[in-house]
Amino acid sequence: MMESSSTQSVISPARVNLLGEHVDYNDGPVLPVAIDLSMTLTFEPLDEDIIELHALDLGKTSTIRIEDLEDKVDIDSEPLEHFALYPASVAWALKQAGFSIAGMRAVYTSDIPIGAGLSSSAAVEVGFARAFMALGGWDAEMMTLVKLTKKGENEYVGVNSGIMDQFACLFGRENHALYLDTKDLSWEALPLPQDVVIIVADSNISRKLAGSAYNARQQACTDAVNKLREFLPGISSLRDVPVEGFKKYKDQLPTEVRLRAQHVVEEITRVQKAVPLLKEGNIEGFGELMIAGHASLRDLYEVSLPELDSLVEIAIEQPGCYGARLTGAGFGGCTVNLVQEEKSVEFILALKAGYERRTGKVAKIYPCRATQGAHLVPKASLNM
């Protein structure tokens, strides 16, 4: 057991994205929510300059010398296992930025399903960032931690993700969605109705983000910008492409690139339309945008699967369901559903039964609430 007066704990939530998928690496706005599935990280200082990791759910441990972070090797000079890359990436990015990294023993566990698209990796990253800050005795703006944890995931782990995941896991607010403009990093919290439950349905099809077609989609967006810049010289990303401008010049793009870009341009518009709807409490209108977003992810961005489509189709047939769509990168993972609270039990039963009937697979269903971002809980203890 890890228990001393110097022991602290961080609770770091998962996130689910309600709207604005595959737009964060195109400078677009997104609407994520931090949800009450979470990683709990209990940590204490060590006298040595090492980071000792105990991932309880995986039954794995790793010890890393702080001076060896750049080399991505453990204390025995063996390459870091995949699970250890994420905490190490945070220490590496913080150290590169000039922040001191103190020796730490870290024990962590999570009820966030891995590989389901709920940002289990970002929860680990921002949780460790909060822990390193607490142990190092320094302070940093939360947005700085977001940028540095993203840098670690991009450059150290090698996943070309955008900034949304780390932002949502760190900035989450109870009973609110978060509007983040990834171009200028302005943001605001938008209220969610008290009588609406966020229900996440895990298709039970795991996806590997780094090995998926995620990077290919990102490249298609870059190709679209490079071509459209011939006609719209002021653009630097798809965020800068107006809908009318896209319609005018879309036929100049190769078919696949055109489809990818069309999703992004139209999805950005959906997010912009969603903001006033949430402020007015118009959850019906917001749900319609979610459903349209799923169709676009299925037909234009082509990141859905028959199982995800089945979950969405079954969901929107149920009483009390306002909206449903795949969430995360796609290629497996989860759907997100906004459901009237009083109909939520019947919804879950119908969704689970319908999915098994259609696909022969069992969906894991998680009723969730919007919760606060990664935060310290002092003087905790956790069995190792």
| Catalytic residue annotation | 165
End-to-end CA distance of the chain: 6
Distance CA 216, CA 330 (A): 13
Phi then psi dihedrals of residue 13, to 5 deg: -85, 160
Q: How far apart are CA 317 and CA 310, in angstroms?
A: 11
* 330: nearest Cα among 220, 169, 214: 214
> For residues 31 and 189, is the Cβ–Cβ distance under 8 A?
no
Which residue, 107, 91, 111, 108, is CA-closest to 99?
91
DSSP 2: B
Dmax over CA atoms of the chain, in Å, equals 65
Query: In the numeric block, which tokens belong to residue 365?
Result: 């269903």
Q: Which value, in Å, is the radius of gyration of the alpha carbons in the chain?
A: 21
- The position carrying tokens 């989860």 is 334
Task: Give per-residue burial for 41-74: e unless 16+ CB within 10 Å, then b.
Answer: bbbbbbeeebbbbbbbebeebbbbbbebbeebeb
Token readout for 379 is 């003087």
* 10, 376 Cβ separation under 8 angstroms: yes
